[in-house]
Structure 1
Amino acid sequence: MEINPTINNKWRFCTFASFIGCMILLFCMNQGQERVKLSTLPTMGASMALYNDSDDQHAAANTQFFLQPSNIIEYGKVVSEEEAPESCNIFDGKWVYDPMTSPVYNGSQCPFLSDQVSCQRNGRPDFEYQKWSWEAKGCKIPRFNGTDMLERLRGKRMIIVGDSLNRNQWESLACLLYSAIPSSQAQVQVKSGVYKVFRAKDYNCSVEFYWSPFLVELEENRESGSKILRLDKLSYSATKWHGADIMVFNTGHWWVHTGKIKAWDLLEYEGKLVEKMKIESAFEIAMKTWAGWVDDNVDKNNNTKVFFRSISTEHKGKQWCYNESKPTMDESYAATFPSSIVEIVERTVGGMRAPVRYLNITKLSKYRRDAHPTVYTAKQGKVLTPMQQRQPMSFADCSHWCLPGVPDTWNRLLYASLVFDNSTDAFIS
């Protein structure tokens, strides 16, 4: 039987069209699956994560997804680099009253918090200072997610080195992580103010604090009794910094102390003792000593992440912290800390070979004169007596911060910097 050529051509066309239709259907189904994956992203209050092929493929809030580096994940929304804002400065923004999600933890959940920062335990009657959240301009900051942070720390060491304000930050981070896991899975050592450590057993990770207010060595001469600050020799604890995967440093506050609270009698540089030197000159030498160590010792493959935290604002004088209960938005407030010290930090960090992220918490802390311990604190290891509390001019602490409180936001921004790992705004350029 002879087949009609017209019918044969129609059959070929139908076959080809069916094949093209199947391909289109398979493509649409695949795109649908990708949309389902993205719809499972954590929402507000959970973790936001950015992954690419080179990242550690950790689970974020029990969700795993992997995207090309050209994508930015923002609370479930996928934005191409072309559509994304040119910059996202998480350190520029405002405080927003947020009683539904702040604070992240209750201070009573963390029995190891020191009396110095346990304001509620010391009798502070108000709670409003705990209920404010930092909101950046032009971008979303992920909420701190303790489980996701622990995943990012799995098998790693994190060190926090500096003065008592960095100890304040360590206590905050330790509490944020401690409250995210069963207490039986945590080990916390806090006997000394010089060294503190939090360990999460199931995650095989540690967060360690080393007290070193100058980052360089301060030693008392046994013969003369003089305290010598060695500008070109790192702190004794530097031998313990080696091998850490994440490092957070600070210094500055102790350099500007004068009179009876000045920490040193003599400075030492290149083997010579010096009685007098401009503070800026001494500070810059010490910063270069620290920077040289980081450049020489930090992982050359950039696996180690280094942060330098900026000055934590004190509230003294006209902007005194006592009896304040809510943030101030007074832009006219000028911190009394010497700008020359800040400039030296930024110049040093900007000139280093190793990439150092600048955790610039100065502005956001400036507005929070309500969040200091004031008279609900401890001095020399003892909680203030009722009589001392009635003498705020002599005893109020306007330097450190209550916990829960402002340092939780510092750690939220530290967490965000790890999430946004490619953010250029966290760097000094």
Structure 2
Amino acid sequence: MEVYSTINERWRLCTLACFIGCIILICSLNYNTSKNVSVLQSMAISVTSSHEFSSPNVQLSQPSNYNENMNGTIKGECNIFDGKWVYSPQSSPPYSGLQCPFLSDQVSCKRNGRPGFEYENWSWEAKECDIPRLNGRDMLERLRGKRVIIVGDSLNRNQWESLACLLYSAVPPSRTRVNVKSAVYKVFRAKDYKCSVEFYWSPFLVQLEVNYNKANDSRILRLDTLSTSSRKWKGADIMVFNTGHWWVHPGKIKAWDLFQHNGKLFEEMEIELAFEMAMKTWAHWVDTEVDTSKSRVFFRSISPEHKEKPTCYNRTQPIMDESYVAIFPESIIEIVKRTIGGMRTPVRYLNITKLSQYRADAHPSIYARKRGKLLITNQKKQQEYYSDCSHWCLPGVPDTWNRLLYASMVLHNLSNSTSHIDL
């Protein structure tokens, strides 16, 4: 009996020790789990609030009630086109003009002798969220195996030069190919990423036909026929279009003599009517020829000029008056919005007009070359008259347009790893 009692007592002590050990183990596991959850939550917060998107897997959230309007706003999400310019001298431009030898004389303000570079240090900040800064390597990763086409006038060429330079400066020059010899076609290629960014000169989007005849030269704007380069647009993964400026060129700089529509020639036609016909021709091509499972279409809004007072000549600061509105026919802008709004294909509107209006300081002004000659040396007595107040210095404002294009890619999950669009 005594032996049995001793064994029984030892068994009870062993059982109690095991029970206490289990409690200690469970408490320890709960503590570590809580600690790990806390760490994971901290990491998630860090990623979400980051300004740099170095991986295509890092995205801004997209709400389930996704709906985009013509101001660039996503319902339930921040409008990246609504904000203000903030002077940020500690922030360097995304590249140096000297890094990109292919930049044209028209936009190489520093190379052309412009003094002071404060215009390079202004950053566009949205009112309600942080806009990701353009990470060249990340964008190249997103564009791996893809084609980007930028189609339109010299302002879209300005945007192409900016984007090509942003990507060119992110990789060794030996791993790129850049061809800028043609006036109507330019291309940047990144060899390791098997991607290209192409520019097609088409200021009307529809075909301008020039007939050289000794008796009577004629320039016919064919409102129902898309530009001949459109056969090369097809199949691109990202398409960025613009038009507008050439439609309102007056007098001697008007580019056409006659309009053509449905086989008929017209000497006179209201510009708004002609423009809307042309936009419908472009919209029909997009709706019938673009594969929306593969391609995404953007339309960049009007890039404002600063030819009227206050002109861009000799300006070193942005316009701070938020009520300022650059002069451009509102009817043309409304036709663009109305056309896009009625299309079957989703077209994202890059609404850069307002944010660019304030940047009268960022044009080449007299620090541009035309036909190889510096304006500053040839028109000293009429500098204000001859200033280029249409195009933009690089680095400069078009870098922000491309930053917002990049942000749109991030916001809309346009990446290889996350999108069913495979962009």
Deviation at 1:38, TM superposition (A): 3.7
Deviation at 1:192, TM superposition (A): 1.6
Match of 1:258 in 2: 250
Residue 31 of structure 1 is aligned with which of 34, 37, 41?
37
Quick check: 1:307 aligned with 2:298? yes
Quick check: 1:237 aligned with 2:229? yes
Quick check: 1:133 aligned with 2:123? yes
Query: Could you tell me how far apart the structure 2 residues matched to 1:336 and 1:152 are?
Result: 37
Aligned-partner SS, 1:391: helix
Aligned-partner SS, 1:277: coil
Q: 1:386 to 1:70 in 2, by over 3 A?
A: closer
Aligned-partner SS, 1:231: strand
Quick check: 1:326 aligned with 2:317? yes
Quick check: 1:248 aligned with 2:248? no
Quick check: 1:204 aligned with 2:187? no
Query: Could you tell me how far apart the structure 2 residues matched to 1:12 and 1:293 are?
Result: 77
State the AA in 2 paired with 1:165: L
Deviation at 1:19, TM superposition (A): 7.7
State the AA in 2 paired with 1:325: T
Match of 1:275 in 2: 267
Provide, for residues 208-234 of structure 1, a one-character-per-residue CA deviation record: whole Å limited to 9, x for no partner: 000100011111124442111111111
Query: Could you tell me how far apart the structure 2 residues matched to 1:401 and 1:66 are?
Result: 30
Match of 1:173 in 2: 163
Query: Could you tell me how far apart the structure 1 residues matched to 2:364 and 2:127 are?
Result: 29
Structure 2 unaligned regions, length at least 5: 65-73, 415-423
Query: Could you tell me how far apart the structure 2 residues matched to 1:113 and 1:222 are?
Result: 32
Q: 1:258 to 1:24 in 2, by over 3 A?
A: same
Counterparts of residues 376-391 of structure 1 (less than 5 Å): 376-384=367-375, 386-391=377-382
Match of 1:214 in 2: 204
Provide, for residues 69-103 of structure 1, a one-character-per-residue CA deviation record: whole Å limited to 9, x for no partner: 779xxxxxxxxxxxx99331111111111111131
Match of 2:99 in 1: 109
Residue 358 of structure 1 is aligned with which of 326, 349, 360?
349
Match of 2:86 in 1: 96
Structure 1 unaligned regions, length at least 5: 49-58, 72-83, 424-429
State which structure, 1 or 2, has the greater radius of gyration over its C-alpha atoms. Answer: 2
Match of 2:181 in 1: 191
Aligned-partner SS, 1:191: coil
Query: Could you tell me how far apart the structure 2 residues matched to 1:292 and 1:25 are?
Result: 62
Deviation at 1:35, TM superposition (A): 4.3
Deviation at 1:361, TM superposition (A): 0.4
Match of 1:395 in 2: 386
Query: Could you tell me how far apart the structure 1 residues matched to 2:36 and 2:291 are?
Result: 40
State the AA in 2 paired with 1:266: L
Deviation at 1:7, TM superposition (A): 8.4
Q: 1:68 to 1:373 in 2, by over 3 A?
A: closer
Query: Could you tell me how far apart the structure 2 residues matched to 1:70 and 1:6 are?
Result: 59
Contact 1:195–1:209 (CA under 8 A) maintained in structure 2: yes
Query: Could you tell me how far apart the structure 1 residues matched to 2:162 and 2:116 are?
Result: 20
Aligned-partner SS, 1:236: coil
Q: Across the two proteins, how many residue pairs are aligned to each other? A: 397
Contact 1:221–1:227 (CA under 8 A) maintained in structure 2: yes
Query: Could you tell me how far apart the structure 2 residues matched to 1:68 and 1:118 are?
Result: 37
Residue 345 of structure 1 is aligned with which of 333, 336, 349?
336
Contact 1:216–1:231 (CA under 8 A) maintained in structure 2: yes
Deviation at 1:123, TM superposition (A): 1.2
Aligned-partner SS, 2:412: coil
Query: Could you tell me how far apart the structure 2 residues matched to 1:66 and 1:178 are?
Result: 24
The alignment's TM-score, normalised by the length of structure 2, stands at: 0.86
The alignment's TM-score, normalised by the length of structure 1, stands at: 0.84
Deviation at 1:162, TM superposition (A): 0.4
Contact 1:157–1:206 (CA under 8 A) maintained in structure 2: yes
State the AA in 2 paired with 1:86: G
Query: Could you tell me how far apart the structure 2 residues matched to 1:137 and 1:40 are?
Result: 20
Contact 2:260–2:266 (CA under 8 A) maintained in structure 1: yes
Deviation at 1:321, TM superposition (A): 0.7
Query: Could you tell me how far apart the structure 1 residues matched to 2:28 and 2:81 are?
Result: 50
Provide, for residues 180-223 of structure 1, a one-character-per-residue CA deviation record: whole Å limited to 9, x for no partner: 11111111100122111011111111000001000111111244
Query: Could you tell me how far apart the structure 2 residues matched to 1:359 and 1:285 are?
Result: 22
Displacement over 4 Å in runs of 4+: 1-23, 42-45, 64-71
State the AA in 1 paired with 2:266: V
Deviation at 1:15, TM superposition (A): 8.3
Quick check: 1:404 aligned with 2:404? no
Contact 2:148–2:238 (CA under 8 A) maintained in structure 1: yes
Provide, for residues 122-172 of structure 1, a one-character-per-residue CA deviation record: whole Å limited to 9, x for no partner: 111121111111111011011111111111111110000000000000001
Match of 2:279 in 1: 287
Aligned-partner SS, 2:229: helix
**Higher deviation after alignment, 92-101 or 372-381:** 372-381
Query: Could you tell me how far apart the structure 1 residues matched to 2:49 and 2:101 are?
Result: 30
Q: 1:93 to 1:69 in 2, by over 3 A?
A: closer
Match of 1:81 in 2: none
CA RMSD in angstroms comes to: 2.9
Query: Could you tell me how far apart the structure 2 residues matched to 1:216 and 1:201 are?
Result: 32
Residue 76 of structure 2 is aligned with which of 86, 106, 111?
86
Deviation at 1:294, TM superposition (A): 1.1
Query: Could you tell me how far apart the structure 2 residues matched to 1:300 and 1:160 are?
Result: 17
Q: 1:29 to 1:189 in 2, by over 3 A?
A: same
Contact 1:44–1:143 (CA under 8 A) maintained in structure 2: no
